Structure 1
Amino acid sequence: MTNFNRNEPYNDLPLLPPKSALETTKVLRKTIEASRALAKFNGMLINLPNPIFFLDTIHLQEAKASSEIENIITTNDNFL
């Protein structure tokens, strides 16, 4: 942002809602692809003996990544 003015709100951000169409063929195809991937993941998750343990691990990894954004570095051992 070369011409940033903190006294002028939003600077060059476009107004909402956008004037262009959001539901393009490309977007809809990606949505279908994501939906299929989630359904496949759900099917695999159901077959695990303890799916909660797997999901808890994912939540801990996300918490660690979020902490790193705030410059708080930790290890997986600290979560246990």
Structure 2
Amino acid sequence: MGQNAPHFKIELLPPHREKVETTEILRQTNKSTAALAELKGIAKTIPNKAMLINAIVLQAAKDSSEIENIITI
């Protein structure tokens, strides 16, 4: 193998149905749907959703800067 040869084989997309539609994945999908529905219901009780979203974005930017060792004042 040459220097530029990949170390793994990438499968074509989309994956075969048999690989994706397993019992385990479908059960987890149901749990995830229920959790998202609960979150949607709770989110409706927040008076100013933009404040929460902005706080999350700011925290993500701060964490990213910390990882990249960027100092901002």
Shared fold (TM-score, shorter chain, > 0.5) = yes
The offset of 1:28, in angstroms, is 1.0
Counterpart amino acid of residue 8 in structure 2: D
TM-score for the superposition, normalised by structure 1? 0.63
Q: Alignment partner for residue 7 of structure 1, among 4, 9, 23?
A: 4
Q: Does 1:57 align with 2:55?
A: yes
Q: Whose helix proportion is higher, 1 or 2?
A: 2
Structure 1: runs of 5 or more not aligned: none
Map of 1:1-80 to 2, 5 A cutoff? 6-8=3-5, 10-17=6-13, 18=15, 21-72=19-70
TM-score by length of 2: 0.67
How many pairs align? 70
Which runs of 5 or more structure 2 residues have no equivalent in the other structure? none
Aligned-pair identity (%): 41
Larger relative contact order (C-alpha < 8 A, sep ≥ 6)?
1
CA RMSD of aligned residues (A): 2.5
Looking at structure 2, the residues matched to 67 and 35 of structure 1 have their Cα atoms a distance apart, in angstroms, of 33
